[in-house]
Amino acid sequence: TPLAVDASHPFPQLLNKSHNLLVRAKTQRGGEPLHAIVQVPRVLPRLIVMPRGKGEDEPWVYIYLASLIKQHIGELFPGLILDGVHAFRVTRNSDLYIDEEEAENLLRTIEQELRRSSRGNAVRLEVEDDCPKDFRDLLLQFFNLTEADVYKLDGPLSMTHLAPLVANDAFANLRDRPFQPARDPALPLHVNIFEVMRRQDVLLHHPYESFDPVVELIEEAAHDPQVLAIKITLYRTSGDSPIVEALINAANAGKQVTALVELRARFDEAVNIQWARRLEEAGAHVIYGVVGLKTHCKALLIVRRDADRLRHYVQLGTGNYHPRTARIYTDFSLFTCEPELTEEVAVVFNTLTGLAGYPGLKKLLVAPFDLHKRLISLIDRERDHALARKPARIIAKLNALVDQQIIEKLYEASCADVTIDLVVRGICCLRPKIPGLSENIRVFSIVGRFLEHSRILYFENAGQREVFLSSADWMPRNFFRRVEIAFPVEQPSLRDEIIDEILPKFV
């Protein structure tokens, strides 16, 4: 549908990242140029396969929907002479602006903000590289942007619509071979997971080891008559999540279910709102995060009446409770019922769901309370060991390293001859191998079939080796504006597996 732009037809409110064509035309009599917008329909495939000959060697030809519309766009403007057609895409600010202190109902407030955010202020304009300046100037005026906000692209405005190429079986030889996660021998099918956890801790390395036991643990808890309560933090999960369905079943069965659903998980707000409502309808106690903080930690606590006593069963992870991404993201899950650690997890839940202050813990490092301070202490300890000529080394695998104070402490440790290896998937603000500053620091970034998402922290500690897994990157937002957990891996066999088998593959 062509949308005229003139004094009586204001510029249309184009959706975030929608594809559009700006058309300039004139009448047969001449006069001032006319302008119109043609939106590329979102409901149609963006990539169209063209008819193909029957021979095996016949090429596959695809054409972008926008190109097809552009080729025949004159049919939408009969009687006019076209004077230029150019594709563009606008990106809008999708941040949600919420005053949590003033919001009486956080869920309803976020729903309202979601409707607004699809039409937030424009922040970027993408155009074809041959788009003339006068066309760009007109769009900049419409969107209240400057030339610095324009990105000229030699090619499609978005590469995200190429999925049909991957799905075409004619190109199967170019795909990765199908990958099937292995089943950890400690958790075979149909095993009683609670019995296994009473005997030993279990560490799963996803996606190499299946995420299914995490789902099965929650499903087993939902149906086990000895389970009294389930508590969980949900940051991201799938729209058809078996985990949330199990929590709903548990609530329907009369168990006490507490779900801390983070409504502000970016781009997953709508899905989380949907699940929050379903959980509430089932009778679960749903908490919409902590005022002023995003709850980003991944924690599950199950309270079970065993034959000898009430016992806490805990799963802690570096990744989300999302079975689909667990097949393509590298993460860890720790299953444990070790009394001191599980009691600390219970304290964290009480801090998040109640009015109690954070008391300080021995084993868990928790943001925004003490994670930053205790990491600095661990780095300083390695520095002191090195100065005392004791074994000292740091290995940190992260998604991002940004925090200035942490970086300065790593520089200090390097200057004290601590060997430091950093595996950083994304942004890294530390500069390695600078004489007199960071000669003993190496930085790696792993690019492979799976997205590196796990966070691993290793400290040599004068031979008393320590390993922590964490949900947190080393960024100010993780340290001070989110609830995060770093947890120790203490069972010797599991700790040694990480140190001697997994970390060497990165460094």
**Which residues belong to the active site?**
296
Token pair 């895409």 is at which residue?
89
Nearest to 472 by CA among 392, 358, 373, 371: 371
Range 108-131 burial, b when 16+ CB lie within 10 A, else e? ebbeebeeebeebebeebbbbeeb
Instruction: Report whether 331 contacts 206 (CB < 8 A).
Output: yes
Alpha-carbon distance 187 to 196, whole Å? 7
Per the DSSP assignment, residues forming a β-bridge with 319 are: none
Alpha-carbon distance 105 to 100, whole Å? 9
End-to-end CA distance of the chain: 56
Phi, psi of 432 (to 5 degrees): -85, 165
Burial class of 280 by CB neighbour count within 10 A (0 to 12, 13 to 18, 19+): middle
Nearest to 237 by CA among 204, 207, 259: 259
The per-residue DSSP string of 315-336 comes to EEESS-S-TTGGGTEEEEEEEE
Instruction: Report whether 292 contacts 318 (CB < 8 A).
Output: no
CA 273 to mean position of chain CA atoms: 17
